[in-house]
């Protein structure tokens, strides 16, 4: 029986948010994710619906195949990227009831935390697709193998390597918002005080600060490791940008489901640098900040409207 295009569109719309979540988790870029979902719809509209037994699974696999091509292209583009590369942040309101924005659904997934995506971004495209499709979304290895153009055994190996990469990186689990809020308040106060030791005590010994600007704004060009180095860097920024109230000058938001700060443009003067708009996110381990992610690349903030 032939399915009308309107009926097909209704069926597809049921899975649109799911597919957007799959594509974003695979690409770390909202524009690529949206393009992949749109392309999946175009492919669906040209096939015989009666031959598809599991529409959700079929669409998930198709999105994975599309994202694989985009990941391979992105790997080439990133070779020319200036400084560190971070995922495009998904910024949603901190307060209020969840709205109808699909992003507010996607960010509830633990796998789209900034710390988790940073690990995925270090995998090869094949490892990432195999690991995410199988471990996160239950796609069988024979279907993943077809997507990758390899044997099922090789697809399993790709997923296993991805799994090992995650285990080795050991990204911290998501802390509760109450814990995040309390730590951020203490961290803000410590920065405002200018007390190096007070800041160091709130940073995990393994803390890493990663900035992403692609040379279009000021941020850390290289990853900064260690509590004292990160503390000195942040306190130095307080002086250079004239931020007496620390990160409290920004608006608290959720960044990929975790507490973060949206910092607006801040003009400079004869003695202080101008600060451009950015989103800062944090990861917590053992009650201390273990990850600090500063996304300052304006091209990654075009969707931020909070």
pLDDT band of 137, cuts 50, 70, 90? very high
Looking at the chain, the domain(s) classified CATH 3.10.450.50 span 177-300
Tokens at 188, concatenated: 């803000």
Fold classification of 177-300 (topology level): Nuclear Transport Factor 2; Chain: A, (3.10.450)
Fold classification of 5-83+124-169 (topology level): Butyryl-CoA Dehydrogenase, subunit A; domain 3 (1.20.140)
Q: Each residue of 257-273: pLDDT tens digit? A: 999 999 988 888 877 78
Looking at the chain, the domain(s) classified CATH 1.20.140.160 span 5-83+124-169
Q: What percent of the chain has pLDDT over 70?
A: 95
Between CA 12 and CA 15 the distance in angstroms is 6
The phi, psi pair for 5, rounded to 5°, reads -65, -35
Q: Is there a contact between 192 and 271 (Cβ–Cβ < 8 Å)? A: no
Tokens 């789209």 locate to 112
Smallest CA-to-CA distance from 117 within 30, 177, 181 is with 30
More confident: 274 or 132: 132
Task: Quote the pTM value.
Answer: 0.92
Q: Each residue of 51-105: pLDDT tens digit? A: 899 999 999 999 999 999 999 998 888 888 999 999 999 999 887 656 668 888 8
Mean pLDDT of 174-201: 93
Spatial CB neighbours of 31, under 8 Å, sequence gap ≥ 6 = 88
Question: What stretch of H or E contains 178?
Answer: helix 177-193
Q: Is there a contact between 30 and 88 (Cβ–Cβ < 8 Å)? A: yes
């Amino acid at each position: 029986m032939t399915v009308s295009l309107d009926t097909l569109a209704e069926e597809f719309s049921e899975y649109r948010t799911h597919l957007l979540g799959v594509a974003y988790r695979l690409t770390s870029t909202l524009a690529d994710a949206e393009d992949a979902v749109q392309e999946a719809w175009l492919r669906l509209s040209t096939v015989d619906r009666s031959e598809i037994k599991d529409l959700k699974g079929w669409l998930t696999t198709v999105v994975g195949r599309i994202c694989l091509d985009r990941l391979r292209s992105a790997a080439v583009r990133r070779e020319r990227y200036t400084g560190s590369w971070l995922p495009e942040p998904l910024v949603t309101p901190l307060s209020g009831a969840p709205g109808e924005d699909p992003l507010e659904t996607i960010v509830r997934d633990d796998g789209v935390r900034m710390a988790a995506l940073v690990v995925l971004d270090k995998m090869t495209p094949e490892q990432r697709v195999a690991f995410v499709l199988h471990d996160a979304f239950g796609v069988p290895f024979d279907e993943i193998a077809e997507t990758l153009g390899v044997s099922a055994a090789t697809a399993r190996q790709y997923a296993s390597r991805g799994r090992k990469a995650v285990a080795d990186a050991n990204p911290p689990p998501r802390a509760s918002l109450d814990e995040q809020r309390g730590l951020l308040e203490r961290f803000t106060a410590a920065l405002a005080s200018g007390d190096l030791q007070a800041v160091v005590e709130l940073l995990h010994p393994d803390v890493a600060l990663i900035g992403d600007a692609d040379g279009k704004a000021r941020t850390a060009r290289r990853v900064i490791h260690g509590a004292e180095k990160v503390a000195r860097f942040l306190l130095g920024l307080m002086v250079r940008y004239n931020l007496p109230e620390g990160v409290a000058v920004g608006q608290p938001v959720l960044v990929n489901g975790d507490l973060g700060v949206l910092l607006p443009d801040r003009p400079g003067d004869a003695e202080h640098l101008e600060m451009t708009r950015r989103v800062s996110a944090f990861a917590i381990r053992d009650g201390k900040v273990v990850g600090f992610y500063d996304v300052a690349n304006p091209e990654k903030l075009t969707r931020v409207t909070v």
